[in-house]
A and B are shown apart, each in its own frame.
Chain A
Amino acid sequence: MDKRIKIKVEHVSKIFKLGKNKEVHALDDISLNIYENEFLAIVGPSGCGKSTLLFIIAGVENTTNGFVYCDDKKIIGPSIGRGVVFQSDAVFPWLTVRQNIEYGPEIRSIPNNEVKEIADTYLKMVGLEKFENLWPKQLSGGMRKRVDLARALANDPDVLLMDEPFGSLDVITKQILQVEIGSLLTNFKKTIFFVTHDLEEAIFLADRIVIMSESPGKIKTVVEVKFGRPRPPQIKVSTKFQKIRAELGSYIETRSIKE
């Protein structure tokens, strides 16, 4: 496996000021390398700053200290090379499924016929060809997630940042999407940064898992998951999977006992 560093997070801290004397250390001196084409999951309790880190990498959130580099260049703003799939519903409700997917290419003034081709490709990939002319409100939560993913992919980013994308879905839809999107993403050469609080989801999808602690948000440990990708759903009941699950669980549990 090539180990070229795609994203380098260097001593990043983020402090949110709440009122006059109150501060929250969302991120405390985080350093992390994300390698090219790896699937990196970041797991931690709610409020540990993992989503903040994601939006810092996306370039829409500032750091208090430290810098993030993408391809050795300092990140100073958003770039179409880094796409985001959101936690909550971020699909534009006033655009149809197709128009949502066309949004990125269209605002970059790509010729119309190419925009159409791109949309066709990704509509097919996420299995929404039949729903292309519907409004988002006519879709289920799982389908809207697919639109969000297709919209991010339509810009063909090298880096895909996913912020608890399945967090708001029901368990069944979540499992279906994990399998589908897990295998879909292995067909691409993309670096994936995946935020979740679901350990099993992280083990099922990721090459490496970063465990974070909360307030201040720090990296506790990094664990490698040595399964090939894509992974069949049955892998979740294998002994190896459960062993990793137990190992990671111990990190999370020590935290909760201590506090």
Chain B
Amino acid sequence: MKSNKGIFNKNVQNALVMVFSIIFGFLVWGLVINRFVDDLYWPTIPSLFGALVQMKVTIALSIGSSIYRTIAGYSLGCILGIVIAYLMSWNRWFNAFITPYIEIIRPIPALALIPFFILWFGIGDLGKILMIAMGAFVIMVITVLEGIFQLDQIYIKAATILGASKWKIYKTIVFPGSLPAIMSGLRINAAFSFGMMIAAEFLGAKTGLGLIIIIARRTMSTNVMLLSVIIIGILAFLFDRLVLSIGRYVTRWMPT
């Protein structure tokens, strides 16, 4: 017997089931959950849309400032991490000098330092950006260093024999060879930075999605809380997909 009997192929079948699953979820939400659970604990779908319409300006502005902090901190931390990792592998003296500091900050959850950053930089953008950057930096340094370390030495040997200088080897071998590690660091940090941003906004902010959640909690506006969470989820998902597709493109040479 043929495994594929229907008029659609397997991919279309899977997609249809997924669409059905989502509709089913909304039906359960609207018809079952909201009937038995109080609005205070889980909002209704109409109240969610009501919150969106009512607060669209505040939400738009908050999305803007939250994205700005996340992207700024993420970029700063990742770029710095990559640069420091290359310098550490380039020069053993520099490596020995920096390693203790990396090892000291590595086990400390970046979240634990948020109060310090608020103390030093206040509750504005700068503190949050530096906070996210520091966390992203540590993850990046370690991931990239590991990637450089794991690079097959035969490529460096081959390049040396073909006449490459140390600088050329970094440019043409170490850099592309560590791209898979860089991309995985960028992806880990994409998720990490969003979490960091929300946590930093919880503990003190003038704007942002994290702040909206905190304020909504005080007034028990569950619909606004959930709406913010959904928006954060969508943003984090889109950012992850963006990083993932860039990563897939720049490492398309990789044997699977």
Contact = CB atoms under 8 A, between A and B. Distances in A.
A103 B13 CA distance: 48
A192 to B, nearest CB: 15
Interface stretch (B111-119, B150-158, B211-219): B150-158
B223 to A, nearest CB: 50
Contacts of B254: 93, 137
Interface stretch (B31-39, B83-91, B161-169): B161-169
A84 interface: yes
B253 A103 contact: no
Interface string A80-99: 10111010111011110000
A135 interface: yes
B173 to A, nearest CB: 7
A104 interface: yes
A108 B155 contact: no
Interface of B is mostly: helix
Nearest to A59: B161
A13 interface: no
Nearest to A108: B163
B105 to A, nearest CB: 32
B162 A80 contact: yes
A206 B19 CA distance: 68
Contacts of A84: 158, 161
Interface range, A side: 20 to 34
B155 A90 contact: yes
A82 B161 contact: yes
Interface in B45-91: none
B158 A90 contact: yes
B163 A93 contact: no
Contacts of A151: 162
A24 interface: no
Nearest to A103: B162
B172 interface: yes
A78 B161 contact: yes
A152 B158 CA distance: 9
Given A90-B154, A90-B155, A135 B253 contact: yes
A221 B256 CA distance: 45
Interface of A: 55, 58-60, 78-80, 82-84, 86, 88-90, 92-95, 103-104, 107-108, 135-137, 151-152, 155
Interface of B: 154-155, 157-165, 168, 172-173, 176-177, 179, 252-256
5 contacts: A55-B157, A78-B160, A79-B163, A104-B162, A135-B252
Given A78-B160, A80-B163, 10 more contacts: A60-B157, A79-B163, A83-B161, A92-B158, A93-B255, A94-B177, A103-B172, A107-B159, A107-B164, A135-B252
